[in-house]
């Protein structure tokens, strides 16, 4: 199935949790945050949240800024 | 030198550092170290999924630094609130530097959207440090909304023009009941010193350090300037006079006592 990840279509396995997807992308550790269908998730909520077809997922992190 | 206290947190240095525009994370980390600062600002952006590089912050010792995420890029209150929530989820801090800058040419903050966002973020439990134009009336409104500081601009972001809003910031300081942090546009250490001597509680500097030929040395220079200005304030400056007041005795050799 496909989801929209950071503005791009991406093929992922059925039944994947957001936490597992982050692990696959090597983004599980560190200062990242996730917005799932417009809802900002607490870090402890990502493992329980299962992705569905056409979900909107944004993964952000800190960059240099003033 | 007394620490500046923001929302109950004591910060030893009155120099805050922005982490954008450095040539590398390593140079940025060295400049932060040289500045003596214990508060740095950071921005929130999408991860590049196809090339997830190390975070900019990996070179920093985050155990001894307070992180102040910003809402840069937000053009209205809703976008700023969205970024604030993401920042809180990413690092757990409730502190947010609120920036709402719809105008891409001058990056001047939108006062109405900033106030609207501040009111909502305070209700959501955030500690809000708003970037604002140097408007004393707006500073009062933001303070009444529950902001932890006010952060008036010296000049447009990244302009290095110095304390162009000096008189207005003087009024904000005179009326302030929260710390006043002069943010944006300070281009040289003397500008930072001027803001602190005027009575600002702290200054936030990014571009002046980041784009200097030698950012680490420039960071040290800002540190010394801010410390010097703090010491001068603590020392209690003498009064000013229009006419000269001789520093050397006027009598005792060339002129007799009473004939000078």
Residue B80 maps to a domain = yes
User: Phi/psi of residue B221, each to 5°?
Assistant: -60, -45
Give the relative orientation of helices B189-198 and B215-235 as an angle to the nearest 10 degrees.
Answer: 20
Q: Of B93, B133, B140, B141, which Cα lies nearest the Cα of B117?
A: B141
* DSSP strands (E only) in B47-154: 66-69, 95-98, 127-132, 151-152
- The Cα B105–Cα B138 span in angstroms is 22
Model pLDDT for residues B20-49, shown as the tens digit of each residue: 999 999 999 999 999 999 999 999 999 988
- The Cα A54–Cα B49 span in angstroms is 17
> Residue B227 is inside which H or E element, if any?
helix B215-235
What SS3 state is found at A57? Answer: strand
pLDDT for B258 beyond 70: no
* pLDDT value at residue B176: 97
Largest CA distance in chain B: 87
pTM: 0.91
- The Cα B220–Cα B231 span in angstroms is 16
User: Phi/psi of residue B40, each to 5°?
Assistant: -125, 150
- Active site annotation includes B97: yes
Residue B254 maps to a domain = no
Strand partners, A64: B42
Residues B3-30 have a mean pLDDT of 95
Residue B255 maps to a domain = no
Model pLDDT for residues B156-198, shown as the tens digit of each residue: 999 999 999 999 999 999 999 999 999 999 999 999 999 999 9
- The Cα B217–Cα B213 span in angstroms is 9
Beta-carbon contacts of residue A66 (< 8 Å; ≥ 6 apart): B18, B19, B20, B21, B41, B43, B70, B72, B157, B158, B184, B204, B206, B207
Counting residues of chain A whose pLDDT is more than 70, the rounded percentage is 97
Beta-carbon contacts of residue B20 (< 8 Å; ≥ 6 apart): A63, A64, A65, A66, B43, B206, B207, B210
Residue B170 maps to a domain = yes
Residue B172 maps to a domain = yes
HSE-up of B19 (CA within 13 Å, CB side)? 31
User: Phi/psi of residue B185, each to 5°?
Assistant: 90, -10
Cβ contact A62–B82 (<8 Å): no
Domain boundaries, position B68: 4-239
pLDDT for B8 beyond 90: yes
The structural domain count of chain B equals: 1
Residue B194 maps to a domain = yes
B258: burial class by Cβ within 10 Å (0-12, 13-18, 19+)? exposed
DSSP B109-133: --HHHHHHHHHHHHHTT-EEEEEE-
Model pLDDT for residues B112-132, shown as the tens digit of each residue: 999 999 999 999 999 999 999
Domains contained in chain A, CATH given: 2-61 (3.10.20.30)
- pLDDT interval class at A29 (50, 70, 90): low
Which CATH number does the domain housing residue B62 bear?
A: 3.20.20.70
Model pLDDT for residues B127-149, shown as the tens digit of each residue: 999 999 999 999 999 999 999 99
Residue B42: list chain A partners with CB under 8 A: 62-65
- pLDDT interval class at B243 (50, 70, 90): very high
Interface subset of B 92-151, CB within 8 angstroms of A: none
């560190």: which residue's tokens? A30
* pLDDT value at residue B250: 83
Residue B155 maps to a domain = yes
* pLDDT value at residue B259: 53
Q: Does A11 touch chain B (CB under 8 A)?
A: no
Q: Does B206 touch chain A (CB under 8 A)?
A: yes
Residue B99 maps to a domain = yes
Residue A7: list chain B partners with CB under 8 A: 46
Residue A39: list chain B partners with CB under 8 A: none
Residues B70-99 have a mean pLDDT of 96
């Amino acid at each position: 199935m496909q989801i929209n990840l950071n503005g791009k279509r991406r093929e992922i396995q059925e039944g994947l949790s957001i936490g597992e997807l982050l692990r696959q992308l090597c983004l599980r550790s560190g200062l990242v945050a996730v917005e799932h269908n417009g809802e900002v998730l607490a870090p402890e909520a990502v493992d329980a949240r299962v992705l569905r077809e056409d979900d909107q997922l944004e993964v952000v992190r800190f960059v240099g800024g003033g | 030198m007394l620490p500046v206290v923001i929302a109950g947190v004591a910060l030893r240095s009155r120099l805050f550092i922005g982490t954008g525009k450095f040539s590398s994370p390593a140079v940025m980390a060295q400049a932060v170290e040289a500045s003596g600062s214990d508060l740095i600002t950071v921005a929130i952006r999408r991860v590049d999924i196809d090339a997830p590089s190390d975070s900019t912050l990996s070179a920093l010792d985050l155990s001894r630094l307070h992180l102040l995420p910003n809402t840069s890029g937000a053009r209205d209150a809703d976008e700023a609130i969205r970024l604030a929530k993401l920042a809180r989820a990413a690092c757990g801090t409730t502190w947010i530097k609120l920036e709402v800058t719809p105008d891409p040419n001058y990056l001047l903050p939108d006062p109405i959207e900033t106030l609207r966002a501040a009111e909502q973020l305070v209700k959501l439990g955030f500690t809000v440090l708003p970037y604002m134009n140097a408007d004393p009336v707006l500073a009062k409104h933001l303070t009444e909304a529950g902001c932890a500081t006010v952060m008036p601009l010296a000049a447009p972001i990244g302009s290095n023009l110095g304390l162009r809003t000096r008189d207005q910031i003087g009024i904000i300081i005179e009326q302030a009941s929260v710390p006043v942090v002069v943010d944006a546009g300070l281009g040289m250490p003397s500008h930072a010193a001027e803001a602190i001597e005027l009575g600002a509680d702290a200054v936030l500097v990014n571009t002046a350090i980041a784009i200097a030929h030698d950012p680490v040395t420039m960071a040290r220079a800002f540190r010394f300037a801010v410390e010097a200005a703090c010491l001068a304030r603590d020392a209690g400056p003498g009064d000013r006079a229009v006419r000269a007041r001789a520093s050397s005795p006027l009598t005792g050799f060339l002129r007799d006592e009473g004939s000078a």
